[in-house]
Amino acid sequence: RKEVEQDPGPFNVPEGATVAFNCTYSNSASQSFFWYRQDCRKEPKLLMSVYSSGNEDGRFTAQLNRASQYISLLIRDSKLSDSATYLCVVTQGTSYGKLTFGQGTILTVHP
Amino acid sequence: DTAVSQTPKYLVTQMGNDKSIKCEQNLGHDTMYWYKQDSKKFLKIMFSYNNKELIINETVPNRFSPKSPDKAHLNLHINSLELGDSAVYFCASSQTDLNYGYTFGSGTRLTVV
């Protein structure tokens, strides 16, 4: 079983749609959680951290369910510029450990 | 002013050659990493250094040798390049506290022919 699993998609949605991505992780000792965004042929960039209580940043909402080892990302009012690959990321420790990346979910927002 | 810079951006070379990729960060971070992203887009860690000391060494052929002359630099040397080494190699850095995530360089696209 992969350490971090995501549905690779692709998700094709119209502008203005709401779209949700899910992710599961296998190591119950995981401590920190993130969503990264990677544009085509670019480096991954931190989109947001994910906290146990859930957190929101503008149109983006992230949720964490430790009991089910499940992370989600909700994007409301999708923009064309949201088209990218969204990477679910977990880490086992909180200091100089490795980040483990999911394969990524491809999102394409069309006019 | 680029936070994490790696050179070269593109590298095309023949099998059997030896090549190096350089990485520098000006963020004052203590930890630096090398990740490999293969054709299926999986990002996998190769090495991690904290204050010039190797702390993570995943299962990587010993043809790959990282070197960290100081905490702002982490270079990757690859001997006897093989076709399967073709990938994008990303350098990254982080604070010791991983709650802030990583900052990545723009990547080096290596093609072995």
pLDDT, one tens digit for every residue, chain B (113 residues): 679 999 999 999 999 999 999 999 999 999 999 999 998 888 999 999 988 889 888 878 999 999 999 999 999 999 999 999 999 999 999 987 777 789 999 999 999 99
Alpha helices in chain B (DSSP H): none
Sign of CA dihedral B27, B29, B33, B36: negative
The size of chain B, in residues, is 113
pLDDT of residue A35: 96
Residues A56, A64: Cα–Cα separation, whole Å: 12
Give the model's confidence band at A93: pLDDT under 50 very low, under 70 low, under 90 confident, else very high.
Answer: low
Cβ neighbours of B64 (radius 10 Å): 17
Q: Tell me which residue in A44, A94, A96 faces B104 most closely, judged by beta carbons.
A: A44
CB A101 to CB B43 under 8 A? Answer: yes
Which chain A residues contact residue B30 at CB under 8 A?
A: 96
Task: Mention every residue, 6+ apart, whose C-beta is less than 8 A from residue B15.
Answer: B81, B82, B83, B112, B113
Burial bucket for residue B23 (CB in 10 Å: 0-12, 13-18, 19+): buried
Question: What is the chain A residue with the closest CA to B89?
Answer: A43
Question: What is the chain A residue with the closest CA to B4?
Answer: A43
Q: How close does chain A come to B105, measured CA to CA in Å?
A: 7
